[in-house]
């Protein structure tokens, strides 16, 4: 039997702490060479894009794909989860699950790369994906204050009020991007901007910067001179970053970055790569999105959904 889970089912059972733990385990397996992840591929048609990515997560007893279409201003996500025995375990509507796994990856990276102790977070973006970035950071770090900026004053004010109540931490709306970023210990960009949304001069030495919004090479949220300052540059996967990191591709074109400087998050977690001391610069994490994260999140969702009897069982094979 194959279990079909819709967005309402996912929202009922998904838990950020569990997703963070699963993404941590999956990325460690990737660093050890046990798990496998293949970068996203895209097919373009008039007015539409089809995206597909796939991975194997032995620790979660699963392998599969995450595919989605972008057409008519609508995005439709589907995770297809197979067991390691080859059975089709589940079809999962994967919009919210994708937001959770993206946030979780930032939480995993922040826990591994940010300085210990209380931190101030500067968040650029106040959309759907920014909500789970804030949630994961609040779970992974000791956040003393979170400052959020987005172009809409109404949206950032609402985001600050809602996240303060939901997370139980101080979240404030910043009047400018600079006010959000200045003196912050962790800076996260989660936008769809094609041009940099922060300036290098705003970011203090020793900060962790997470570029999480761009997965196209023609979009760069971070300026090249900020990339050049980084003592450590960590990517989710080198093969993916070379295809999708607008921040790093743009910096390379400007002579501010060489790919030999980048290490993978999985290698950091597995202990085979060590971040440099960034006291005189910054640490940069480039997040583009891996199918392995979707499988990690799916492994937690499926376990909880089965325990609560959610979803619809169908016979496909």
Question: Residue 137's domain is classified under what CATH number?
Answer: 3.40.50.720
pLDDT (average), residues 140-145: 98
Q: Are residues 142 and 219 in the same domain?
A: yes
Q: At 33, is the pLDDT very low, low, confident or very high (cuts 50, 70, 90)? A: very high
Look at residue 32 and tell me if it is in a domain. yes
Q: Are residues 304 and 284 in the same domain?
A: no
Q: Are residues 121 and 76 in the same domain?
A: no
Instruction: Quote the tokens at residue 118.
Output: 């209380």
Q: Are residues 265 and 159 in the same domain?
A: yes
pLDDT (average), residues 193-214: 97
Measured CA to CA, the distance from residue 257 to residue 225 in angstroms comes to 9
pLDDT (average), residues 13-35: 98
Domain CATH for 20: 3.30.1780.10
Note the pLDDT tens digit of each residue in 97-133: 999 999 999 999 999 999 999 999 999 999 999 999 9
Look at residue 108 and tell me if it is in a domain. no
Measured CA to CA, the distance from residue 187 to residue 179 in angstroms comes to 12
Q: At 280, is the pLDDT very low, low, confident or very high (cuts 50, 70, 90)? A: low
Look at residue 309 and tell me if it is in a domain. yes
Q: Domain count of the chain?
A: 2
DSSP 251-274: HHHTTS--GGGEEEHHHHHHTSS-
Q: At 275, is the pLDDT very low, low, confident or very high (cuts 50, 70, 90)? A: confident
Look at residue 147 and tell me if it is in a domain. yes
Instruction: Quote the tokens at residue 153.
Output: 């004053």
Q: Are residues 224 and 306 in the same domain?
A: no
The least confident of 22-31, 136-145, 156-165, 280-289 is: 280-289
Q: Are residues 135 and 80 in the same domain?
A: no
Q: What is the pLDDT of residue 317?
A: 86
Look at residue 56 and tell me if it is in a domain. yes
pLDDT (average), residues 31-37: 98
Q: What is the chain's mean pLDDT, rounded? A: 97
Measured CA to CA, the distance from residue 167 to residue 246 in angstroms comes to 31
Per the structure, the complete domain to which residue 300 belongs is given by 2-98+292-314
Look at residue 107 and tell me if it is in a domain. no
Q: Which is more confident, 276 or 136?
A: 136
Alpha helices in 74-205 (DSSP H): 95-113, 128-140, 153-167, 177-181
Q: What is the pLDDT of residue 274?
A: 86
Q: Are residues 231 and 158 in the same domain?
A: yes
Look at residue 106 and tell me if it is in a domain. no
Look at residue 177 and tell me if it is in a domain. yes
Residue entry with tokens 């109404």: 154
What percentage of the chain exceeds 90 in pLDDT? 97
pLDDT (average), residues 141-157: 98
In terms of DSSP bridges, do strands 48-57 and 36-45 run parallel, antiparallel, or are they unpaired?
antiparallel
Q: Are residues 29 and 120 in the same domain?
A: no
């Amino acid at each position: 039997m194959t279990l079909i889970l819709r967005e309402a089912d996912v929202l009922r059972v998904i838990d950020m702490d569990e997703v963070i733990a699963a993404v941590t385990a999956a990325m460690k397996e990737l660093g050890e060479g046990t798990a496998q992840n293949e970068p996203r591929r895209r097919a373009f048609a008039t007015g539409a894009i089809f995206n597909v990515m796939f991975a194997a997560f032995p620790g979660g007893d699963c392998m599969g794909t995450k595919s989605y279409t972008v057409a008519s201003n609508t995005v439709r996500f589907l995770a297809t989860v197979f067991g390691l025995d080859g059975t089709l375990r589940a079809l999962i509507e994967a919009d919210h699950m994708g937001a959770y796994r993206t946030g979780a990856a930032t939480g995993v990276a922040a826990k591994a790369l940010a300085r210990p102790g209380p931190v101030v977070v500067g968040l650029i973006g106040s959309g759907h994906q920014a909500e789970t970035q804030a949630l994961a950071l609040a779970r992974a770090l000791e956040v003393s204050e979170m400052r959020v900026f987005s172009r809409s004053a109404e949206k950032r004010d609402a985001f600050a009020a809602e996240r303060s109540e939901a997370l139980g931490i101080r979240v404030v709306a910043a009047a400018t991007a600079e006010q959000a970023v200045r003196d912050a210990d962790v800076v996260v960009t989660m936008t769809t901007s094609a041009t940099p949304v922060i300036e290098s001069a705003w970011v203090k030495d020793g900060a962790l910067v997470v570029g999480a919004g761009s997965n196209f090479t023609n979009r760069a949220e971070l300026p090249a001179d900020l990339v050049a300052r980084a003592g450590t540059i960590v990517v989710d996967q080198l093969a993916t970053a070379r295809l999708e990191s607008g921040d790093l591709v743009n910096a390379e074109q400007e002579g501010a970055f060489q790919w030999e400087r980048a290490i993978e998050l999985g290698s950091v977690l597995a202990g085979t790569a060590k971040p440099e001391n960034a006291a005189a610069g910054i640490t940069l994490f480039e997040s583009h999105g891996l199918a392995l994260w979707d499988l990690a999140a799916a492994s937690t969702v499926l376990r909880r959904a089965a325990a609560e009897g959610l979803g619809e069982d169908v016979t496909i094979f």
